[in-house]
Amino acid sequence: MTEGSRPAIVARGVRRAFGQVLAVDHVDMEVRTGSVTALVGPNGSGKTTLLLMLAGLLRPDAGTVEVAGADPASSAVARSAIGWMPDTFGTWDSLTVTEVLTTMAAAYRLPTDLGRARTTELLRLVHLEEFAATPAHALSRGQKQRLGLARALINYPPVLLLDEPASGLDPRSRVDLRVLLRRLAAGGVTVLVSSHVLAELDEMVDDAVFLSRGRTVSSEALLATTTQRRRWRLRSLDAEALQHWAFDHSVTLYPDNDAPVGGTSVLVELADDAAAARLLASAVAAGVPVASLAPVSGLLEQAYMSLDAERR
């Protein structure tokens, strides 16, 4: 959490190709210690490859990677500082949930009693206590995902690399995940999380790293997207009053094509939150029965869409 301290993850000019396919072209990034940072990008933009390099499984063709102050490729210090949860992973299906975690603890060379204590603690944390003696193959997809998260946390990692951790989770578990990650960050853990559920990331991340075609998108470009005018959805109980007010105040209303049929919502374009507050005050003052005014999409989604536009 300390400002100005060394970043927990640093990548400089990282590049990695698989044969003819250039998965990661040029990645420069810094992830602040104690932050939750989103890794966002379209399918095939190199997120998983980048995470593999950060986890020390893949050697970059060029550039350098540093996690927790060391090269994850060569250093046991860095390796024991990383918790990694891959996007697709299997489970040792004959092992019970408890055995999976104690095995991982042993693989990280934790003393047996500490490993057992940590296992109990983590099972409680991801709400799998009642499945402690269940074979891993009997778990549902979401439960396996939670087990995967517990597995990534077994070695008390100060740096957590999560590749699509929310996939397969029910809404309740997603909220739990968000709370857990925020709490870990508050305790000084650095979390780098890739996900496609942008609305969810929006609520928990401090920073975002955008990947497009294997390159990090520059922060200036990002800044530009976030200061763009965003669309807000305005819902009122009286469509006619809204129309009159809009005409009087020269507010351009756009049809809301995504709204359910029969709704009385329209879209407006606003520069920032202050503009939204002014618009709302004006509408209410004019007697328009406003039910809600909210951004159509989150900041991340907005930025993501501009990446996507670039892709086409």
Partner 1 sequence: MTTDTQQAPATPSERTFTWQGVRTVLTLELRQRVRSTRWKVALVVWFAIVGFVAALLPGLVGSSSSGGGTWVFGLILLFVLGLGLVVSPTLASTAINGDRVAGTLAILQVTRLGPAEIAVGKLLAGWLAALAFLVISLPFLGWAALTARVAPWHFLFVVLVLALLLGVVCAIGLGCSALTARPAGSSVLTYVAVASLTVISLIVFLVSIPAVTTEERVEVLTVPLDANAECEWVQTTRSVIHTERTWWLLAINPFVVLADAAPARGPESWDYGPLDAIKEGVRLARTGDQPRYDECWSENYPAGVTPQREDESSDTSPVWPWGLGANLALGGGALWLAIRRLRVPYTTLAPGTRVA
What is the token pair recorded at 191? Answer: 């979390």
DSSP characters for 136-184?
Answer: GGGS-HHHHHHHHHHHHHTT--SEEEEESTTTT--HHHHHHHHHHHHHH
- Regarding 73 and contact with partner 1 (CB under 8 A), the answer is yes
If the CB atoms of residues 91 and 264 are measured against partner 1, the closer one turns out to be: 91
- Regarding 109 and contact with partner 1 (CB under 8 A), the answer is yes
Choices 77-85, 266-274, 291-299, 304-312 (CB under 8 A): range interacting with partner 1 = 77-85
Q: How far is the CB of 53 from partner 1 (least distance, A)?
A: 7
Alpha-carbon distance of 226 to 89, in angstroms, equals 35
Q: How far is the CB of 209 from partner 1 (least distance, A)?
A: 20
- Regarding 289 and contact with partner 1 (CB under 8 A), the answer is no
Q: How far is the CB of 83 from partner 1 (least distance, A)?
A: 9
Q: How far is the CB of 145 from partner 1 (least distance, A)?
A: 13
- Regarding 90 and contact with partner 1 (CB under 8 A), the answer is yes
If the CB atoms of residues 211 and 276 are measured against partner 1, the closer one turns out to be: 211
- How many residues bind partner 1 (CB under 8 A)? The answer is 51
Amino acid, res. 217:
V
- Regarding 52 and contact with partner 1 (CB under 8 A), the answer is yes
Choices 39-47, 180-188, 210-218, 250-258 (CB under 8 A): range interacting with partner 1 = 180-188
Choices 39-47, 74-82, 259-267, 279-287 (CB under 8 A): range interacting with partner 1 = 74-82
Strand partners, 161: 84, 192
Which of 47, 66, 139, 158 forms a contact with partner 1 (CB under 8 A)?
158
Alpha-carbon distance of 211 to 217, in angstroms, equals 6
Alpha-carbon distance of 93 to 97, in angstroms, equals 9
If the CB atoms of residues 192 and 303 are measured against partner 1, the closer one turns out to be: 192
Alpha-carbon distance of 150 to 136, in angstroms, equals 13
- Regarding 108 and contact with partner 1 (CB under 8 A), the answer is yes
* Planar angle of CA 113, 116, 121, nearest 5 degrees: 125
What is the token pair recorded at 53? Answer: 């390099």
- Regarding 185 and contact with partner 1 (CB under 8 A), the answer is no
If the CB atoms of residues 9 and 110 are measured against partner 1, the closer one turns out to be: 110
- Regarding 254 and contact with partner 1 (CB under 8 A), the answer is no
Q: How far is the CB of 90 from partner 1 (least distance, A)?
A: 3
- Regarding 121 and contact with partner 1 (CB under 8 A), the answer is yes
Residue pair 238/288 in contact by the 8 Å Cβ criterion: yes
For residue 131, the 8-state DSSP code is G
Around 88, how many Cα atoms within 13 Å sit in the side-chain half-sphere?
Answer: 1
What is the token pair recorded at 258? Answer: 């995504």
What is the token pair recorded at 79? Answer: 């390796």
DSSP characters for 82-130?
Answer: EEEE-SS----TTSBHHHHHHHHHHHTT--HHHHHHHHHHHHHHTT-GG
Closest by CA to 278, choosing from 251, 310, 247, is 251
The residues that touch partner 1, with contacts defined as CB under 8 A, are 18-19, 52-53, 55-59, 72-73, 75-77, 79-82, 84, 86-95, 99, 103-104, 106-111, 121, 124-125, 151, 153, 155-156, 158, 183-184, 187-189
